[in-house]
Amino acid sequence: MKDLIGKAFLAGLGAVSLTREKLESVVDDLVKRGEVAREEKQKLLNDLVEAGEKHQNEIRGFIQKEVKKALEALDIPTRQDIRDLQKQIEKLGKSKN
Protein backbone atom coordinates (compact mmCIF):
# COMPACT_ATOMS: atom_id res chain seq x y z
CA MET A 1 0.00 0.00 0.00
CA LYS A 2 2.85 2.38 0.84
CA ASP A 3 4.33 1.72 -2.59
CA LEU A 4 0.97 2.46 -4.22
CA ILE A 5 0.69 5.76 -2.35
CA GLY A 6 4.18 6.71 -3.49
CA LYS A 7 3.32 5.90 -7.09
CA ALA A 8 0.07 7.82 -6.83
CA PHE A 9 1.91 10.83 -5.41
CA LEU A 10 4.47 10.81 -8.21
CA ALA A 11 1.78 10.34 -10.81
CA GLY A 12 -0.19 13.16 -9.17
CA LEU A 13 2.74 15.50 -9.61
CA GLY A 14 2.84 14.65 -13.27
CA ALA A 15 -0.93 14.91 -13.56
CA VAL A 16 -0.68 18.66 -13.89
CA SER A 17 0.73 18.26 -17.35
CA LEU A 18 -1.04 15.05 -18.37
CA THR A 19 -4.42 14.73 -19.97
CA ARG A 20 -7.00 12.35 -18.60
CA GLU A 21 -6.38 10.03 -21.56
CA LYS A 22 -2.69 9.80 -20.78
CA LEU A 23 -3.46 9.16 -17.13
CA GLU A 24 -5.81 6.36 -18.15
CA SER A 25 -3.01 4.85 -20.20
CA VAL A 26 -0.60 5.04 -17.26
CA VAL A 27 -3.13 3.48 -14.90
CA ASP A 28 -3.95 0.75 -17.45
CA ASP A 29 -0.24 -0.08 -17.62
CA LEU A 30 -0.11 -0.29 -13.82
CA VAL A 31 -3.08 -2.67 -13.89
CA LYS A 32 -1.47 -4.83 -16.62
CA ARG A 33 1.73 -5.08 -14.60
CA GLY A 34 -0.25 -6.06 -11.53
CA GLU A 35 0.80 -3.01 -9.54
CA VAL A 36 -2.79 -1.79 -9.21
CA ALA A 37 -5.84 -3.98 -8.74
CA ARG A 38 -8.42 -3.71 -11.51
CA GLU A 39 -11.02 -2.73 -8.87
CA GLU A 40 -8.85 0.21 -7.77
CA LYS A 41 -8.32 1.52 -11.30
CA GLN A 42 -11.18 4.05 -11.42
CA LYS A 43 -10.55 5.36 -7.90
CA LEU A 44 -6.85 5.81 -8.63
CA LEU A 45 -7.62 7.56 -11.90
CA ASN A 46 -10.10 9.89 -10.19
CA ASP A 47 -7.62 10.59 -7.39
CA LEU A 48 -4.88 11.41 -9.89
CA VAL A 49 -7.11 13.74 -11.88
CA GLU A 50 -8.25 15.46 -8.68
CA ALA A 51 -4.64 15.82 -7.47
CA GLY A 52 -3.61 17.23 -10.84
CA GLU A 53 -6.41 19.78 -10.75
CA LYS A 54 -5.49 20.75 -7.19
CA HIS A 55 -1.82 21.22 -8.13
CA GLN A 56 -2.80 23.18 -11.20
CA ASN A 57 -4.95 25.53 -9.10
CA GLU A 58 -2.15 25.95 -6.56
CA ILE A 59 0.34 26.76 -9.31
CA ARG A 60 -2.10 29.20 -10.93
CA GLY A 61 -2.62 30.97 -7.58
CA PHE A 62 1.12 31.13 -6.95
CA ILE A 63 1.79 32.59 -10.40
CA GLN A 64 -0.96 35.19 -10.01
CA LYS A 65 0.42 36.24 -6.63
CA GLU A 66 3.98 36.50 -7.95
CA VAL A 67 2.94 38.48 -11.04
CA LYS A 68 0.98 40.88 -8.83
CA LYS A 69 4.03 41.36 -6.59
CA ALA A 70 6.26 41.94 -9.62
CA LEU A 71 3.87 44.51 -11.09
CA GLU A 72 3.69 46.31 -7.75
CA ALA A 73 7.48 46.29 -7.44
CA LEU A 74 7.82 47.76 -10.94
CA ASP A 75 5.13 50.33 -10.13
CA ILE A 76 3.05 49.30 -13.14
CA PRO A 77 -0.57 50.50 -12.90
CA THR A 78 -3.27 47.85 -12.61
CA ARG A 79 -6.52 47.81 -14.56
CA GLN A 80 -8.25 49.21 -11.52
CA ASP A 81 -5.73 52.06 -11.34
CA ILE A 82 -6.46 52.88 -14.98
CA ARG A 83 -10.23 52.67 -14.44
CA ASP A 84 -9.93 55.03 -11.48
CA LEU A 85 -7.96 57.50 -13.61
CA GLN A 86 -10.56 57.26 -16.38
CA LYS A 87 -13.31 58.07 -13.89
CA GLN A 88 -11.34 61.06 -12.60
CA ILE A 89 -10.82 62.31 -16.17
CA GLU A 90 -14.55 61.93 -16.90
CA LYS A 91 -15.39 63.88 -13.73
CA LEU A 92 -12.96 66.64 -14.69
CA GLY A 93 -14.43 66.77 -18.19
CA LYS A 94 -17.97 67.04 -16.81
CA SER A 95 -17.04 69.71 -14.27
CA LYS A 96 -15.54 71.94 -17.01
CA ASN A 97 -18.77 71.84 -19.03
Q: Would you state the pLDDT for residue 91?
A: 94
Q: Would you state the pLDDT for residue 1?
A: 38
16 CB neighbour count, 10 Å cutoff: 15
Q: Would you state the pLDDT for residue 2?
A: 44
pLDDT tens track, the chain, 97 positions: 345 555 655 565 555 556 778 888 988 998 999 988 999 999 998 898 888 888 888 888 898 888 888 888 888 888 999 999 999 999 999 987 6
- Distance, in Å, from the CA atom of 9 to the CA atom of 3, rounded to the nearest integer, reads 10
Q: What is the CA radius of gyration of the chain?
A: 24
Answer whether 10's CB lies under 8 Å from 30's CB.
no
**Amino acid at site 22:** K
Please report how the helices 41-73 and 20-32 are oriented relative to each other, as an axis angle in degrees rounded to 10: 140
Q: How far apart are the first and last CA of the chain?
A: 77
